[in-house]
Structure 1
Amino acid sequence: MIELIAIEIAGERALDLAFSDGSRGRWEADAVLARDTVLTRPLQDPAYFARAFIEAGALAWPNGLEFSAVSLHATLAEAGALIRKAA
């Protein structure tokens, strides 16, 4: 199972993600933030967005919002934004 192993802030609405399979990618949160829900609204604040952390291999924020590593990996792969480790 793929897990997140590292995250790095890459702007007000983006994170560089590193996965347990050696792949990496930049996740842009614009589509998620456009939903404007109770859970996504705090992420509009760049300081709050920067409080992202890894919990049990998933991307998380203090308010309970979480994204699984599998879904993030698939999203990046489908967008052609996943950089795979060279063999």
Structure 2
Amino acid sequence: MKIKQLVREQYQELCPYSAHKCDTYDQIDFKIKRAVETGRVTNTYPYRIVQYHNLQFVVSGDTVVNMSKNSDYAYVSEDRKQSYERKFYKIVV
């Protein structure tokens, strides 16, 4: 999955506390990918829109092209996040 530089900048602006904990863009990319993979898909046409807590990601094909905050809320459990982390780190290692 590709992530546009604009989305990284939006993440740093909209989630400063979370982004501040990251040392590199790779760590920010991991958080964005985790949000897109574990979030709830709310729309599929013309773009896939994924809601992760109060963040909304717009995915076109295999690229995250935009993100924003909104008032909708999609709960994602800690178990689901940990499951994604185990899968991700198993692939990386």
Give the shorter-chain TM-score range: 0.3 to 0.5
- Structure number with greater CO (CA < 8 Å, separation at least 6) is 1
Give TM-score, length-normalised by structure 2. Answer: 0.34
Give TM-score, length-normalised by structure 1. Answer: 0.35
